[in-house]
Amino acid sequence: MTSYREILRLYSQGISQRSIAVSCKCSRNTVAKVIRRAQELNIHWPLSLEQTDAELEKLFFSKEPAQSERRYPDVEYIHKELMRNGVSLKLLWHEYCEKCRQSNEIPLMYSQFCYHYQKFSEKKRASMHIPRKPGEQVEVDWAGKPASIVDRDNGEIIPAYIFVGVLSYSQYTYVEAFLSMKLESWINAHVNMYRFFGGSTRILIPDNLKTGVDRVDWYTPVINKTYHEMAEYYETAVIPARVRKPQDKPHAEGAVRVISTWIIAALRNQKFFTLAELNQEIKAKLDEYNKRPFQKKDGSRFSIFLEEEKPLLISLPAAHFELAEWKQATVQFNYHIAVDKMHYSVPYEYIKQKVDVRLTRNMVEVFYHNNRICSHKRLYGRTGQYSTIENHMPEEHQKYIQWNGERFIEWAERIGPNTVFTVKSILNSHRVEQQGYKACMGLLKLADKHSTERLEAACKRALSYTPRPSLKSVKNILVTGQDKVTDEVAKTHTAEAEHYGFTRGAEYYGIKHMQQV
């Protein structure tokens, strides 16, 4: 901008226009125009401090620039469209030209179109330095380019994916290789990283990976259940980076680029046959990288970490986090859930409800609305096994499973020895003991209707007839009252029956035969 104040100051001191032009680094014509315009407006030196060069320019040359007949592009729209896949400035310029032709307007040339957008985007690219506090946050990501190991048997090249974790304050870095990027590797990488740092940070910034974030949303992202559980265990908060916003985790992005050069590329000529060999070499390269001095400040990543950041990390729990898998299941009518082809009981009140199931190596825990309702020891081996807790059953089901031969015998002992013998004979009369449970239940229930004394007497009477009495025979004795008859009377009736029986003489059959003829 022209130094209007300086021109007027030097002119007031009687300096020639040529010398003023040399001093202010402008042309003599410009100096002449400024002096002439100041005289027209009756402006003389000294000027007030409020009259800056910008204010004087508006005052001296306030003519509005001529309006172009050309239509200017909508730079906000261009900026948004460029975020979409496959969209380029060239394509947007062609669309802009087509709109201008439809409205009978003159479009800008492609160079001017790009110039206006460039001026707008420069303002959008404004950046801000955010100071980080020691122990505040760690940024994690997978490196874009994997390393590799060689299969000893067939020579196959197996990719090894590189996990990178960086402390934002000291830029102290952790690197480890895994054979997959699945949830198990993701969680184990974090556990090993916290062990390497000797503590955890208050904030954890991952990328929007499916292993970490179930649903991407800037305001309310849904964190993976296992990942969230791990974060709670280490007393840290997961704050995912925005989609396509690498500036949210610049240290991780920068570390990924550096690691790709100083570790992965440095190992390109070496062959590794196991993951352990690869990680051992990575560890050596990583130690060298962390201890390398900074170029523009004193110290190294390792020295700053030890002196300033490590004392402020959150202490680790006594035991390392145990990886757990979360699943959803529906409680069936048999008050069991099916998980990995095994069946685990749940309180029957939750039948047809959806529950969350947490699976660890040894335990199965069931949650309903984030409240744990039961747990089981995890089943392994033959599929279709059942783990049932008796208290989860309805009351009538509990009573049913409680019945067994010993229980029926104990019940019969409270009535009498003949009843015990009858119950044992019923149980022994079946190939499978459970087949006699209903008969034993029916026999013992007769005491409620006829009294225990009569049932004991009826069993005694039945045993006098046969060594293997049945429920039906004991019931008939009670109905007919035979249990009330004394032994002497019973013996008399038995003798008479044996003497006379129910025989019919020859005369009876002869008469009946003659009648039929």
Burial zone of 408 (CB within 10 Å; 0-12 exposed, 13-18 middle, 19+ buried): buried
Spatial separation of the C-alpha atoms in residues 358 and 323, rounded to whole Å: 10
Spatial separation of the C-alpha atoms in residues 51 and 9, rounded to whole Å: 13
CATH code (residue 156): 3.30.420.10
Give a yes or no: residue 506 inside a domain: no
List of residues 6+ apart from 375 with CB closer than 8 A: 363, 364, 365, 366
Please check whether residues 424 and 464 belong to one and the same domain.
yes
Give a yes or no: residue 130 inside a domain: no
Which residues partner with 314 through β-bridges? 200
Spatial separation of the C-alpha atoms in residues 462 and 471, rounded to whole Å: 10
Q: Which of 194, 190, 166, 168 is nearest to 178 (CA)?
A: 190
Spatial separation of the C-alpha atoms in residues 111 and 68, rounded to whole Å: 16
64 touches 46 (CB < 8 A): no
Q: Which amino acid is at 449?
A: K
pLDDT of 501 above 50? no
Tokens of residue 332, six digits: 């069936």
Look over the chain and give the mean of its residue pLDDT values, rounded to a whole number: 82
| Local structure of residue 311 (DSSP, 8 states) | G
3-state helix, strand, coil in the chain (%, to 5): 50, 15, 35
Give a yes or no: residue 201 inside a domain: yes
Domain that holds residue 487: 403-500
Q: The whole model's pTM is what?
A: 0.51
pLDDT of residue 66: 47
pLDDT (average), residues 477-501: 65
pLDDT (average), residues 254-282: 79
168 touches 138 (CB < 8 A): yes
List of residues 6+ apart from 378 with CB closer than 8 A: 342, 359, 360, 361, 362, 363, 364
Q: Which of 154, 72, 161, 156 is nearest to 117 (CA)?
A: 72
pLDDT confidence of 502, banded at 50, 70, 90? Answer: very low
Please check whether residues 423 and 278 belong to one and the same domain.
no
pLDDT of 517 above 50? no
Tokens of residue 513, six digits: 């035969």
Mapped onto helix, strand or coil, the DSSP state of residue 266 is helix
Give a yes or no: residue 129 inside a domain: no
11-29 pLDDT tens trace: 888 888 888 888 888 898 9
Given 395, 426, 442, the domain boundary residue is: 395
Q: Which of 136, 129, 138, 1 is nearest to 58 (CA)?
A: 1
- Cα angle: 446, vertex 451, 453; to 5 degrees: 110
Please check whether residues 117 and 179 belong to one and the same domain.
no
Which has the minimum average pLDDT: 135-144, 267-276, 395-404? 395-404
Please check whether residues 391 and 419 belong to one and the same domain.
no
Please check whether residues 361 and 461 belong to one and the same domain.
no
171: left (phi over 0), alpha (psi -120 to 50) or beta: left
Please check whether residues 295 and 385 belong to one and the same domain.
no
Q: What is the CA radius of gyration of the chain?
A: 48
pLDDT of residue 271: 86
Spatial separation of the C-alpha atoms in residues 319 and 317, rounded to whole Å: 5
Please check whether residues 92 and 42 belong to one and the same domain.
no
Give a yes or no: residue 339 inside a domain: yes
Give a yes or no: residue 317 inside a domain: no
pLDDT of residue 211: 58
pLDDT (average), residues 323-344: 91
Please check whether residues 55 and 105 belong to one and the same domain.
no
Please check whether residues 343 and 259 belong to one and the same domain.
no
108-122 pLDDT tens trace: 899 999 998 888 887
Q: Count the domains in the chain.
A: 5
Contacts 24+ apart (CB under 8 A), 474-479: 474/422, 474/443, 474/446, 475/442, 475/446, 478/446, 478/450, 478/454
Spatial separation of the C-alpha atoms in residues 90 and 96, rounded to whole Å: 10
Q: What are phi and psi of 178, to 5 degrees?
A: -135, 155
327 touches 357 (CB < 8 A): yes
pLDDT (average), residues 65-74: 68
List of residues 6+ apart from 389 with CB closer than 8 A: 345, 374, 376
Please check whether residues 172 and 243 belong to one and the same domain.
yes
Give a yes or no: residue 111 inside a domain: yes
186-228 pLDDT tens trace: 889 999 999 999 999 998 888 766 555 555 444 445 567 788 8
pLDDT of residue 373: 94
State the number of CA atoms in the 13 A half-sphere of 255 facing the CB.
Answer: 26
204 touches 136 (CB < 8 A): no
Largest CA distance in the chain: 175
328 touches 354 (CB < 8 A): yes
| Local structure of residue 160 (DSSP, 8 states) | E
pLDDT of residue 296: 76
Given 336, 371, 395, the domain boundary residue is: 395
Spatial separation of the C-alpha atoms in residues 278 and 283, rounded to whole Å: 9
Please check whether residues 377 and 448 belong to one and the same domain.
no
Give a yes or no: residue 239 inside a domain: yes
Please check whether residues 474 and 418 belong to one and the same domain.
yes
Given 268, 285, 312, the domain boundary residue is: 312
Q: Which of 231, 178, 239, 183 is nearest to 211 (CA)?
A: 183
Please indicate whether residue 170 or residue 485 has the higher confidence score (pLDDT): 170
Spatial separation of the C-alpha atoms in residues 270 and 249, rounded to whole Å: 31
pLDDT confidence of 259, banded at 50, 70, 90? Answer: confident
pLDDT (average), residues 356-367: 91
